[in-house]
Structure 1
Amino acid sequence: MRAADGLGLILGALSGHRSRSLMLLLAMAIGVVAVNLLTGLAEGARQFVIGEFSMLGRNTLIVLPGRKETTGGMPPLTGLATRDLTLGDTQAIGRLPSVRRVAPLQAGQVEVSVGNRVREAFTLGTSHEFFVIRQLSVGQGQALPALPLDQAEAVCVIGARLRRELFGSKPALGQWLRAGDRRFRVVGILADRGESFGMDIGEMLIIPVASAQVLFNREGLFRVFAEVRGPQWLESGKRQVLAVIKARHEGKDDVTLISQDSMLAAFDGILGALGLALAGIAAISLLVAGILIMNVTWIAVNQRTAEIGLLKALGARPAQVRLLFVGEAALLSVVGGLIGLVSSEVLLWLGRQLWDIPLQTPLWARVGSLLLAAGAALLFAWLPASQAARMEPLAALRPPGGRV
């Protein structure tokens, strides 16, 4: 039997049972869509998190007050209050040889008003260096001026959305607004870039850190950002920051130091494992499709015994008969897989248009889903195809309960 004859028999069998062929195509397509869609969602989430961390700036260390660890042993009988981070701690960190720039951070919700327009705004007290570390760009005006950390100044930078809600269509630069019981002059308006780690940049009010301490009546800092001079300075920078804080806090390790790289590695590992888990769950649908192919192939073998007997009587070898049924399954799996792959890419493209998340299936998932679809089809079709290949011509040609 020539290859062209075999292909003709395969296509004829598929076209002769259109409903069965469409059902198998749909099963394979759904399986491939599930794998690619779920891995695309996981990969999009991973890329989104990486993009968010990139906004922290490169080589950034974050110092938080309090030790975020638990150790064994009996707890102390008396309470040990966490020592606040201060502007003095910030200045000491800024003098370290491995640190390029440092920025303190004070944060809180404040009622902001202009005339009769009032709203709550997330307010940050920081310094000029914070704009560089966090890569905040100013669309109009300028960033906070470079002031001594302990100098309060009645200036502020506001987000684009906050500007629209407070000033409407009127110009905001140079105008005054009231935050709590203090007045601030607008010197800059942030470029609108959406949310970052759950904080909407467009709704922020940024003021000098000393002004924030007066406004909130609180000296302790929320955290301190320190940018080291390069990747090779990260480890030495961590040691130096912890050492200087320990020396200033009476020998106590009462701060937590985290780095962008450690957070990114942790999230990347978690999301990578999640993507593999989702791909594994979705791959079950391909196994179900393979079982469906096996059942349908069994039925086809039982329905086509006369055809099998005629082919073998005409000289078809067992391997050629097996190839006919395996070829049907392989062709259905490849075509169904390609349909599923195209469908998943369309769905992910629609998702990218609706949400600002880079939804994209990695190459390994695309290739793997197609290979898994083909592998499942071949594996589950092999057993019924082998039964067809073992049939004796006379037994296959004999009608049920009758004689040739």
Structure 2
Amino acid sequence: MDPLDACQLWFGALRGHRSRSAMLLLAIAIGVFAVTLLGGLGQGARAYVLGEFSLLGRDILIVLPGRNETTGGMPPITGMAPRPLTQADATALGRLPAVRRVAPLHAGQLEVSRDNRNRETLALGTTRAFFAIRQLHLAQGRALPELEPGQAEEVCVIGSRLRRDLFGNAPALGQWLRAGDRRFRVVGVLDERGESLGMDFSEALIIPVASAEVLFDRDGLFRVFVEVRGPSYMASARRQVLAALTERHQGEEDVTLLSQDSMLAAFDGILDGLTLALAGIAAISLLVAGILIMNVTWIAVLQRTAEIGLLKAIGASSAQVRLLFLGEAALLALLGAGLGLGLGELLLWVGRLASGLPLYAPWWARLGAPALALGAALLFAWLPANHAAAQAPVQALRPQGGR
């Protein structure tokens, strides 16, 4: 039996049993589609997280007030809040040997208005160093001025979308706006930039930290960003920051330090677990498809007993009969895998257009899913194919053999 004859037999069997073939194609396609789509979603989430934290920089430490904020523990049963971080704490951290610069941060929602236009926006109270630490670039004007600790000034930098909402096509630099019960003069407009680490800078109002304290009527800082002198200083900077704040807080270590590496490690562990869980679900679907292939192939062997006997009577060997059924299963697996892979890539492409996320199926999903589908098809079709190959021609040609 030459390869052309074998292909004609395979395609003829598929056309002769259209409903059965369609059912198997759908089962395999769903499994491959699940592997491709879920792998692409996991890869996209990983790339998005890496992109977000790459903006933070590897030389940055984020100091958060309280120890229970990231450990997942119960809040204090006394109901007392953790000791707040203050501007004095931030100033002390800026004097540490391993630290290059420090940016304290207040954050809150404020109503901002100009003339008859107003909107609710994110207000950030910080210093000039924040622009360098968070890699904020200006489209117009300048950043916040250098101010002494505790010095307030009625100036602000606004995001590009906030500028359009409040000023339209009119120039914004040098103009005044109202935030809460105070007025601020616009000295800069940020370049176009979307959301990063939960902050949408295109809609942000950035004011001096002392002005924010008065505006929000609170002393405790939301965060303190600490830039160390280089990656090699990270470990020593951690120790120095913890020691300095513990000493200032009467011997109590009541802050949490986050870095890009620690956040990436935490997210990486979560994403790895999700990827394994999703791969397990997809593998189960392919296993179910393989069992379905075995059952349907077994039924096909029983229904085609006379055909098997005829093939053996005209000289077909057991290996050729076995190849006939294995080839049908392999062809179904390849066609179903192609269908599932194409559908998965199509949905990922639509997702990229709709969300802007880097949703790309990883190479192991693109290669592994079809390979797994083919392997499952051949594995589960082997037993019925072997049964067909072992039949004797005379018994297979008996009338009762086909019943």
TM more than 0.5: yes
Distance 1:252 1:373 in 2: 58
Contact 1:102 1:227 in 2 (8 A): yes
Whether 1:126 and 2:120 are equivalent positions in the alignment is no
- Secondary structure of the residue that 1:226 maps to in structure 2? strand
2:118 and 2:153 map into 1 onto residues whose CA distance is: 22
Do 2:125 and 2:211's aligned partners in 1 also have CA atoms closer than 8 Å?
A: yes
Preserved CA contact (<8 Å) 2:112 2:177: yes
Q: Distance in 2 between matches of 1:115 and 1:122?
A: 19
SS in 1 for 2:183: strand
- TM-score, normalisation: structure 2: 0.93
Give the partner amino acid of 2:86. Answer: T
Map 1:318-337 to 2 at 5 A: 318-337=318-337
**8 Å Cα contact 2:37-2:361 kept in structure 1:** yes
Give yes or no for contact 1:127–1:149 (8 Å, CA) kept in 2: no
Q: Which deviations, in whole Å up to 9, do the C-alpha atoms of 1:270-310 show, x marking residues without a partner?
A: 01210221121122222222222222212221221112112
How many Å separate the matches in 2 of 1:377 and 1:143? 64
Counterpart in 1 of 2:395? 395
Shift of 1:339: 2.1
Secondary structure of 2:135's counterpart equals: coil
Which blocks of at least 5 consecutive residues in structure 2 are unaligned?
Answer: none
Aligned length: 399
Distance 1:119 1:401, change over 3 A: closer
Contact 1:106 1:213 in 2 (8 A): yes
| SS of the residue 2:58 aligns to | coil
Residue 221 of structure 1 pairs with residue 221 of structure 2: yes
**Equivalent AA in structure 1 for residue 340 of structure 2:** G
Give the match for residue 113 of structure 1: 113
The aligned residue for residue 139 of structure 2 is 139
Where 2:339 maps in the other structure, the secondary structure is helix
Q: Where does 1:5-404 land on structure 2 (aligned, <5 Å)? A: 5-68=5-68, 82-400=82-400
Distance in 2 separating the partners of 1:120 and 1:127: 22
Partner-residue secondary structure (3-state), 2:118: strand
Q: 2:309·2:394 contact (CA, 8 Å) conserved in 1? A: yes
User: Aligned-pair distance for 1:352?
Assistant: 0.3
Contact kept? 2:306, 2:401, Cα under 8 Å: no
> What SS does the aligned partner of 2:399 have?
coil
2:58–2:259: 8 Å Cα contact kept in structure 1?
no
Q: TM (normalized to structure 1)? A: 0.93
RMSD over aligned CA atoms reads: 2.2
Residue type at the aligned position of 1:43 = Q
Equivalents in 2 of 1:79, 1:287: separation in Å?
A: 52
Deviation of 1:102 (Å) = 1.1
Moved over 6 A (4+): 69-72
For residues 172 and 207 of structure 1, do their structure 2 counterparts lie closer, same or farther at Cα, with a shift above 3 Å needed? same
C-alpha displacement at 1:356, in angstroms?
Answer: 1.7
Assess if the C-alpha contact under 8 Å between 2:117 and 2:166 holds in 1.
Answer: yes
* 1:56-103 alpha-carbon deviations (Å, 9 max, x no partner): 23321111112227899xx89x88663221212112211212112210
Tell me whether 287-296 or 232-241 shows the greater mean CA deviation.
Answer: 287-296
CA distance in 2, matches of 1:68, 1:20: 58
Question: Could you tell me how far 1:163 is from its partner in structure 2?
Answer: 1.3
Q: Which amino acid aligns with 2:393?
A: P
Secondary structure of the residue aligned to 2:185 is strand
